[in-house]
Structure 1
Amino acid sequence: MSSAFRPFRMTALAAAASLCLPAAFAQQAPAASKPVTRQEDKKIQQVEVKGTADAYDPRRDDTATKIVVNSEEITKYGDTNVLDVLKRVPGITVNSANGRGGEIRMRGLGAGYTQVLINGERAPAGFSMDSLAPDTIERIEVLRAASAEFSTQSVAGTINIILKRAVKNRQRELKLAAQAASNGWGPNANLQLSDREGAFSYSVSANAAQDRFEFDSSGVETGVSPTGQPTMLRTIRLPQKGQFTFLNLSPRLNWTLAPDNTITSQTFLNHNRFRNRVGTETTTIIGPPPAYPNMVPTYRNEGTYLRSDLTWARKFASGAKLDLKIGASAGQSDNASQRSAFAANGAALLDTDIALANRDRGLNSTGKYSRTLKQGHTLAFGWDGGVDTRTDERSERNALLGPAAQPRDEEAEARVRRLALFAQDEWNITPQWSMYLGARWEGIRTHVEGNVFGTARAGSNVWSPIMQTLYKIPGKKGDQLRLAVTRTYKAPSVQNLTPRRQTSDNNSSTEPDYQGNPNLKPELAFGIDAAYEHYWAEGALLSISVSSRRISDFTRTLVYFDGGRWIATPSNQDSARTRSLEIETKFPLKAVMSDAPAVDLRASVTRNWSRVESVPGPDNRLDQQTPLSLNLGADYKAGALTAGGSFAYRSGGPFRASLNQRGYAFARRDLEVYGLWKFDPQRQLRVAVSNVLRQGYETESTYMDDRIGSQTRYFMYPNGVRVRATYELKF
């Protein structure tokens, strides 16, 4: 059979495998009506409506595996950026090298294996996730297995961040906050407005925040010859002082043209500004000093990102539904750095100004047609396509060469065209058994050209068949099984495809130049996910899930010496495997103790394994994968007081990225507590304390070669306890 038909063969085999489940299905008990309690008074009649365990829950009832984090959970700790929220979600870790920003990971995997979407769309290159305020988010959906409706560039999984959509009648809410730590402080303000007027409704979410920081970091650089003799010992001091400011604005407008006929406009504006002055003071104890032992770089960055979507949703009398969306995006980022370096006697060695301007433009269109049939099928098909253009302009001027020196100017333009077609069928075979079958084709064409390198072109076409099934075990209310078989992939980024050289001042095996590879191919992954879920009381869950991925054409970064400089470049290698085991539970204490206080408990533990076959072991983990992560949490409510805490642990250990590259990932422990006091229905005060254990951030990388020995760099970035206080007012 030709390769073109293999994805369809895999889908058929997956569907056949699921048919091996027991054929006897018990009839589902009719849903219990919602109990209503009435407390009558001479003046006031109060009605309380309480949900039951049989109420719809997307986590429990959707065929596709999904974890939904609602707005209450998102804002519970008064976080100022979405990264702090995600580190408390089961199965998700956030890795940061120096305490600023971070990489979002599922199954311990980053580097593009975890797909992060905003309203179902990928954020543009260079968008800073730590500039996305939690108060602008309505919910976060975590999809462990791929769905045909979204891009299948989700080897580890997908995190879909959905901005505010809900409209409340005459909502007026203001939050004023301040945070402080031993190494920084900053204010935060959020405004929420929404209302309805006939067929028109709107909501506006606005957030502004600033973080000022000042601290000293330290590092050590060592070198050892092949015979074990010390060849280098340097100590490095890195004082930093700067600030980060951002603004989020998200208006949403809704028009109801007729029943089941609406038009929606949603816009998201993000503006951020970053300033940092970093000193690099190197003291050489053994061996030769670096080319620039004392540097004083100053960095300035200012970026703006705008995206606007217009959506038309129409339901027909036949039960069919049509969703059409057209969107446009624009972004710009201006970076400026001034790098100065001095010798021990104060003589100037470097005085360079570098300016980099990026401009992004994009157009996209998506459509989905769905219809429910009498046989229990919900069929849907659609498309997702767009064109994105990015231009880069870089200029470099060295003042030490005099005014007559010619500046070094570089220009580059990248154009990415993409088109995806998908079809899916959600089938309720019986009241206990449902199945999801889908297929998606994605084509990507990338064109990059510049004045300092030749034209680079790359293209990929990927078929992704998907099967997911949910089976509710008869006679055991609350027990169910899940199975998913998927084909996903990871496309190379524009940066990895661009053959332009990005140079390092103190070039070495641990600080190499970087150069892209236009011959990169996409990484393809075949995945299997299975889970057992037990819902044993209202609000109580036990979940045990396992997964496996086999990745072909695995991409890793190689470091080599070209005779003059050290260079890092990505390259397709052999293959890799990754496996995960995740156990999660949450329950109210009253589910196990009678007359228990209003305490909710939650815990999750994830164990990950991986092996890169082209890298010799041991410790040849995929993308420095996090081996073990643990989350514990508790919430307590009594009258006007709500309080709680969260503990997140991420293990570390040695890892081997290639034959010559090694590193060490340091374990991390995050302990947070919060308290919320409601003065009245309109006013409340929220206080949170994070990094209670005062843990900093550490990094270590090593380059080893039998001919020259080894070189290791270690850095420590301190981080103190941070206190946040938020006053919330409804008016």
Structure 2
Amino acid sequence: MKRQLLAVSLSQAIALALPMQAAAQTAATPQDAQTAPVELDGVVVTGQIVYRDRADAVAPTLSYDLAYFQRFEPRTVGDMLKRVPSVAFLSDVLEYDGARLRGMDPGYTQILINGKKVPGAGDDRSFFVDRIPAEVVERIEIVRSPSANRSGDAMAGAINIVLRDAYEFDGAYIRAGASVFDDGEVTPTLAGVASGDFAGGHALVGISHQGRYNPKQKQSLRYEAPGGAFVDREDQSDTRDGTDDSFNLSYTRELGPGRLSLSGLYVKTDRTETEHSREFNVRTGSTPDHLLSVNDQVVDIDQENLALSLGYAIDAGGGRTEVEASYARFKDTQFDTEEEIAYDAEETPPVFDGYEGTRTLGDMRDSERALTVSHKRDLGGATLAFGVDYTGKDRDARLRTSEVEAEDEGAPLPPYVDFETAASTIEERRVDPYLMFSGSRGLIDWETGLRYETTDVDVTADGAAWSNDYATLLPSAHLRWNLGDDDRISLSLARTVRRPAFRDLLPLLLEEEYGDNDFIGDPQLDPERAWGLDLGFEHRLGRRGIVGVNLFYRDVQDLIEIVSTGQPSATALDDHAEDIEDFLADHPGATPETPGYPQLDPDSWVYTAANVGDGHVYGVELDLSTPLTALGLPDTGVFLNYSWLDSSVKDALGKRRFNDQARSVFNVGFIHDIPSAGLTFGASYRRQGDAYARLLAEEVTTEYGADLEAFVEKRFGKKWTVRLTGSNLLDASKDETFHAFDTLGDQIDRDYDEYERETEKAGPVFQLVARYVF
């Protein structure tokens, strides 16, 4: 608590200093000159190829305008991010949800909207970027190393999604089109954006409706072990059908001596996931004589994202003071029903063996309230910035589960009436003051800062409560050496944190979570902490091209890993109870002192999460974006980025990489413009390296096929643009290999429970979209 009191005291001192300092100063800095908004027709209907921007920030940042992505008509922010350096995904085919900067788990990547944190669905605190329509985005910023004026939850880096701002744009347009999938399904897309003077200020309003659809086919082949006897085959269809509707608003105006700004984003997702699978005891064929099971699962998902922000900035007292209040909320409601008819494989042909069903009702609410007070002023040879961020986070989760069965063939399942309920609440309160200096000296631009992050955590689960608090000092320093107009070198050093995943905090027992082993969270967990180093070089090619290379390293301490509590698992206790029951049946009246009486000798345990390890993450990132003017092709642009990613960490079985880190990410593409015909076409190719995860009782290798996209665009005057795009033109597949074990001992001895190879495929998608500018 002393650390928390220190933060509060420092925060109060900063807050008191702001008005005192303003009163003491007599000279005022003029407000920023009003800048004319950019016409939207210059953004929507353009024959010019747009390249990656060179960011002005001293901290290493890559900036990509919407126009950089727009030719390929991305549906979501996830579709946009798959083209930028070092961003990997571990999603289903045609899905791009949890962004993995440097290939690391999504929980290591901070997702920001207009520079503010937003809550998401992931237990690892991740935000699914495919929930944000691309149409509302102005630009994407990849912040490789954080500054003191932003939260330190960015161990792998931060992705800042900057929404279109009323202050920046003027005009209006509509977008309409449709996507066609390989099974003949057609989904619509419709969007509109308008911006102009309103109520003494400037307003921008956008609305979007996006049909979402993804039909996939899966097949799994299971064996007793690698190279062992065949066990069964599962054929599965998996269709995801839904809609995303969004509304965004931005408003700015001069109010009194300062500027008022208001922004809001609302996204509603309705989605149904339908899976139908059948298991057979032969490699090929689907006759009833070889049928082992029929499984049907339907999940209805209703999600809402809301983000609101209100800010006021004033130039006074020789500097600029800003106050911003924000509110973000995520709601997730799921209705999941899975039912399976099983057949006894010991009989030939298999006979009815049971009919069972499980219904799970999930309800999660996650909200964040934030208040930021900051001040920035010129000190002559440097710029001083200081402030304090307050964040209050509440996450309420409720899970209800009902299991039923029908033993007679042909009988219906009983109604889902009796539900077991698990409810939990996690509350976090943060007070994070910071101090930052920046400036220039000759050819050197520099920035250094100090941030002190404090967190109080309260966890309640099934009526019991726990508390924890921790604090971390986060220094950061950035240097940029401008070798000339075209070349610059950047060097960054920063300390970051990763707060524990929600599941790891909740002390709720999950039986057989890892093979026969159980898991229970620990509310006393502290965050992981890391020192990070980035060294980059960037060269401008001509007027518009850029080539850059960056080396990064992260030294992670207090790594959260899975460890045994020493308590036997529920499976071990059940097996022991059955042994006793069998012994008593053969030896009536026996006691624990009777010779041969079964003794508890568990081989599976209850595991938990603990801060026990260290790890290292490192790699090289290369990106190129340039017109081919030097080759006499000024109307042809090429894009290329490649990231080599690696890491090391130790677990109970030895050394491995960070789980599910892709070995590499490669993107290459071109765009060619024919101005005289108002025509543009291009293509992009993406390949992601293999990812490997070693968990307790399970090891998984994931491989993806190559992804090819192409587009052709036709412009009609200055008002109309029509684009035809094709995605997944190579029918990319996702291939996973599972090594499953019952216990840690079996895993060490390679005594398999099951070995499985799964392949998931989806066909190409074609999209035709037209835009009209008013």
Helix, strand or coil at the partner of 1:103: coil
Helix, strand or coil at the partner of 2:68: helix
- State how far apart, in whole Å, the 2-side matches of 1:103 and 1:515 are: 24
Q: For 1:457-476, what aligned pairs fall within 5 Å after superposition? A: 457-473=467-483, 476=484
Q: How many residues align?
A: 656
Mapped contact 1:167–1:195 kept (Cα < 8 A): no
Matched, 1:543 2:548: yes
Q: What is the CA distance between 1:660 and its match in structure 2?
A: 5.2
**What residue identity is the alignment partner of 1:62?**
A
Mapped contact 1:626–1:650 kept (Cα < 8 A): yes
- State how far apart, in whole Å, the 2-side matches of 1:197 and 1:342 are: 61
Q: What is the CA distance between 1:356 and its match in structure 2?
A: 1.7
Task: Tell me which residue corresponds to 1:526.
Answer: 531
Q: Flag the 1:656–1:77 CA change in 2: closer, same or farther, 3 A.
A: closer
Q: What is the CA distance between 1:707 and its match in structure 2?
A: 7.3
Task: Tell me which residue corresponds to 1:642.
Answer: 680
| 346-355 vs 463-472, which moves further | 346-355
Helix, strand or coil at the partner of 1:709: coil
- State how far apart, in whole Å, the 1-side matches of 2:302 and 2:441 are: 54
- State how far apart, in whole Å, the 2-side matches of 1:107 and 1:632 are: 18
Q: TM-score, normalised by structure 1?
A: 0.84
- State how far apart, in whole Å, the 2-side matches of 1:379 and 1:253 are: 28
- State how far apart, in whole Å, the 1-side matches of 2:62 and 2:416 are: 61
Q: Flag the 1:458–1:180 CA change in 2: closer, same or farther, 3 A.
A: farther
Q: For 1:93-112, what aligned pairs fall within 5 Å after superposition? A: 93-112=88-107
Q: What is the CA distance between 1:321 and its match in structure 2?
A: 0.9
Matched, 1:517 2:554: no
Q: For 1:491-502, what aligned pairs fall within 5 Å after superposition? A: 491-502=499-510
Task: Tell me which residue corresponds to 1:338.
Answer: 337
- State how far apart, in whole Å, the 2-side matches of 1:170 and 1:596 are: 33
Deviation per CA, 1:515-552: give whole Å up to 9, x if none.
43324321111111111222242112222211111111
Matched, 1:349 2:355: yes
Task: Tell me which residue corresponds to 2:737.
Answer: 700
- State how far apart, in whole Å, the 1-side matches of 2:697 and 2:341 are: 32
Task: Tell me which residue corresponds to 1:256.
Answer: 254
- State how far apart, in whole Å, the 1-side matches of 2:99 and 2:737 are: 20
- State how far apart, in whole Å, the 1-side matches of 2:79 and 2:54 are: 22
Q: Flag the 1:644–1:513 CA change in 2: closer, same or farther, 3 A.
A: farther
Q: Flag the 1:317–1:58 CA change in 2: closer, same or farther, 3 A.
A: farther
- State how far apart, in whole Å, the 2-side matches of 1:508 and 1:315 are: 57
Mapped contact 2:166–2:250 kept (Cα < 8 A): no
Which structure is higher in RCO with an 8 Å CA cutoff and minimum separation 6? 2
Mapped contact 2:704–2:735 kept (Cα < 8 A): no
Task: Tell me which residue corresponds to 2:368.
Answer: 362
Q: For 1:209-224, what aligned pairs fall within 5 Å after superposition? A: 209-224=210-225
Deviation per CA, 1:309-342: give whole Å up to 9, x if none.
1111112262x11111112233422211122222
Task: Tell me which residue corresponds to 1:575.
Answer: 614
- State how far apart, in whole Å, the 2-side matches of 1:424 and 1:617 are: 41
Q: What is the CA distance between 1:570 and its match in structure 2?
A: 3.7
Mapped contact 2:364–2:396 kept (Cα < 8 A): yes
Task: Tell me which residue corresponds to 2:590.
Answer: none
Q: Flag the 1:166–1:75 CA change in 2: closer, same or farther, 3 A.
A: farther
Helix, strand or coil at the partner of 1:84: helix
- State how far apart, in whole Å, the 2-side matches of 1:170 and 1:705 are: 64
Q: Flag the 1:508–1:360 CA change in 2: closer, same or farther, 3 A.
A: closer
- State how far apart, in whole Å, the 2-side matches of 1:387 and 1:589 are: 50
Mapped contact 2:166–2:203 kept (Cα < 8 A): no
**What residue identity is the alignment partner of 1:424?**
M
- State how far apart, in whole Å, the 2-side matches of 1:87 and 1:395 are: 36
Q: Flag the 1:62–1:412 CA change in 2: closer, same or farther, 3 A.
A: closer
- State how far apart, in whole Å, the 1-side matches of 2:392 and 2:327 are: 10
Q: For 1:552-563, what aligned pairs fall within 5 Å after superposition? A: 552-557=557-562, 562=569
- State how far apart, in whole Å, the 2-side matches of 1:285 and 1:329 are: 51
Q: For 1:432-447, what aligned pairs fall within 5 Å after superposition? A: 432-447=443-458
Match of 1:455 among 465, 468, 476: 465
Q: Flag the 1:143–1:404 CA change in 2: closer, same or farther, 3 A.
A: closer
Q: What is the CA distance between 1:513 and its match in structure 2?
A: 6.3
Match of 1:386 among 380, 391, 394: 391
Q: Flag the 1:585–1:242 CA change in 2: closer, same or farther, 3 A.
A: closer
Q: Flag the 1:670–1:242 CA change in 2: closer, same or farther, 3 A.
A: closer
Task: Tell me which residue corresponds to 1:603.
Answer: 640
**What residue identity is the alignment partner of 1:440?**
R
Deviation per CA, 1:342-375: give whole Å up to 9, x if none.
2224565313322122223332111221012222
Matched, 1:490 2:498: yes
Helix, strand or coil at the partner of 2:685: strand
Helix, strand or coil at the partner of 1:698: strand
Instruction: Calculate percent identity across the aligned residue pairs.
Output: 18
- State how far apart, in whole Å, the 1-side matches of 2:649 and 2:164 are: 41
Q: What is the CA distance between 1:554 and its match in structure 2?
A: 1.5
Task: Tell me which residue corresponds to 1:43.
Answer: none
| 608-617 vs 478-487, which moves further | 608-617
- State how far apart, in whole Å, the 1-side matches of 2:696 and 2:394 are: 37
**What residue identity is the alignment partner of 2:669?**
G
Q: What is the CA distance between 1:133 and its match in structure 2?
A: 0.5
| 103-112 vs 261-270, which moves further | 103-112
Unaligned runs of at least 5 residues, structure 2: 5-51, 122-126, 284-291, 344-350, 407-413, 573-603, 741-746
Matched, 1:715 2:766: no
Q: What is the CA distance between 1:84 and its match in structure 2?
A: 1.0
Q: What is the CA distance between 1:206 and its match in structure 2?
A: 1.0
Q: What is the CA distance between 1:650 and its match in structure 2?
A: 1.2
**What residue identity is the alignment partner of 1:700?**
T
Task: Tell me which residue corresponds to 1:274.
Answer: 271
Helix, strand or coil at the partner of 1:626: coil
- State how far apart, in whole Å, the 2-side matches of 1:568 and 1:249 are: 44
Unaligned runs of at least 5 residues, structure 1: 5-56, 287-291
Deviation per CA, 1:193-246: give whole Å up to 9, x if none.
11114732110111111123444311122223xxx8846622112223341211
Deviation per CA, 1:8-48: give whole Å up to 9, x if none.
xxxxxxxxxxxxxxxxxxxxxxxxxxxxxxxxxxxxxxxxx
Match of 1:87 among 82, 89, 92: 82
- State how far apart, in whole Å, the 1-side matches of 2:487 and 2:128 are: 41
